[in-house]
Amino acid sequence: MTTSDGILLSMAQLNENLGKISNWNLEDNGRSIVKNFEFGNFKEAVSFLNKIAEIAEQEGHHPEMKLYLYNNLEVKLTTFSAGGLTQKDFEIAGRIDKLTSSETSPKASSEANEQEI
């Protein structure tokens, strides 16, 4: 990790970075970003989760992931050691977005972010 990985981003930096990723939403008073994905079936959802896990292991930066309703995956990124969002979170989000564009894309659901499940 570079020294900038642990530096919290300002609100202006958060908004700038949100413009570079697709359908991620700020949560926890700007301390995390969240995206929900919907897949055709359970196997596709688990496969995608495993691809994210590979990225997380490579980067040493692990998101919270929740698989629910058999075909939905919620991914939440934050830098726990910094107490909020850093550039690393947005780099990982960008890599996750590239996964969705390089294969059969899951549906990213911004509406699911607004629902209590």
CATH number of this structure's domain 3-114: 3.30.1360.20
pTM greater than 0.75 (yes/no): yes
Domain segments of the chain as ranges = 3-114
Tokens of 75: 């991914």
For the chain, what percentages of helix, strand and coil (3-state, to nearest 5) are there?
40, 20, 35
* pLDDT tens-digit map of 55-96: 999 999 999 999 999 999 999 999 999 999 999 999 999 999
Tokens of 51: 């691809």
Query: Is residue 106 very low, low, confident or very high in pLDDT (cuts 50, 70, 90)?
Result: low
Regarding predicted confidence, which is higher, 95 or 100?
Answer: 95
